Amino acid sequence: MSRAGDRAYVAIRNMILSGELPAGTQLGEEALAEKCGVSRTPVRDALRRLEADMLVVRTDTQRSFVAEWSLDDVRDAFDLRAMLESFAARRAAERMTPDSLARLRHANARIAQAIALPRPDIALFLEGNREFHAAILEVAGSRRLVAQLGALVEQPVVWRTAHHYGPDALHRSWSEHEELIAAFARGDGAWAQAIMASHILRAYHAYADAHRGMASQPSFGKARGEPAFALKAMA
């Protein structure tokens, strides 16, 4: 953790994901530097990383803005994630070890615990969910896959979305994880792949349903479809 650079990255990221910096906001380096209490140099690094995460876009003239997310963009992201992560699931099924399988069971047990409470503990659910998907990715054993999915899978904000999920949706997610574990236990790559694709795409529709009809934020750029909130995917 290189102090200032990472602090700036986390700080700006949080400002974007929390909505403090709405989509379309221009990100001046100097202003951000002051907000983060560092100089422009680490802010520049942070902006570059956020750009790679596609949370920030740069104009042809190097001005940075908080990225817009049209509904089409969100759909794109989920499609891509469905493809990549189901591919990862197939690979993982073919390489699964008892240890990793135990880790998956443990993660999903935590999810069960989170949603068993009278009032589901969303934070715990998200933590278990993250661990579950990360473990699969690790077993898949492709550095590239990790790199490409990294930006898509991380779920720092989902907060705003996750709280819209009902107990039934949460339970279905847990249930699909159980099915994945079954596929992994049998080493059935094709099965795991199919479940994962379904898992992700169901999550997309849960998202779309939750946000259907919600107020659009004032738009800025050339978004193609209906503007959506800036946030990351969850499953």
Question: Which parts of this chain interact with DNA (CB under 7 A)?
Answer: 2-6, 26-31, 38-42, 44-45, 59, 61-64
Q: What angle do CA 195, 197, 201 make, to 5 degrees?
A: 115
Give CA–CA dist 234/209, Å, rounded.
14
Among DNA, its own copies, none, partner that 21 touches (CB below 5 to 8 angstroms by kind): none
Q: Does 76 bind its own copies (CB under 8 A)?
A: yes
Q: Does 198 bind its own copies (CB under 8 A)?
A: no
Tell me the C-alpha to C-alpha distance, in Å, between residue 67 and each of 71, 86, 198, 204, 222. Answer: 13, 27, 28, 19, 11
Q: Does 201 bind its own copies (CB under 8 A)?
A: no
What would the two tokens of residue 32 be?
């951000």
Q: Which is nearer to DNA, 64 or 86 (CB)?
A: 64
Residue in the structure block whose two tokens are 């990351």: 232
Q: Residue 56 is which amino acid?
A: V
Q: Residue 7 is which amino acid?
A: R
Q: Does 85 bind its own copies (CB under 8 A)?
A: no
Q: Which is nearer to DNA, 40 or 202 (CB)?
A: 40
Among 77, 194, 201, 208, binds its own copies (CB under 8 A): 77
Give CA–CA dist 120/233, Å, rounded.
19
Among 118, 143, 213, 215, binds its own copies (CB under 8 A): 143
Give CA–CA dist 9/138, Å, rounded.
24
Interacting residues toward its own copies by CB under 8 A: 2, 41, 44-45, 48-49, 52, 54, 62, 73, 76-77, 79-80, 83-84, 87, 142-145, 147-148
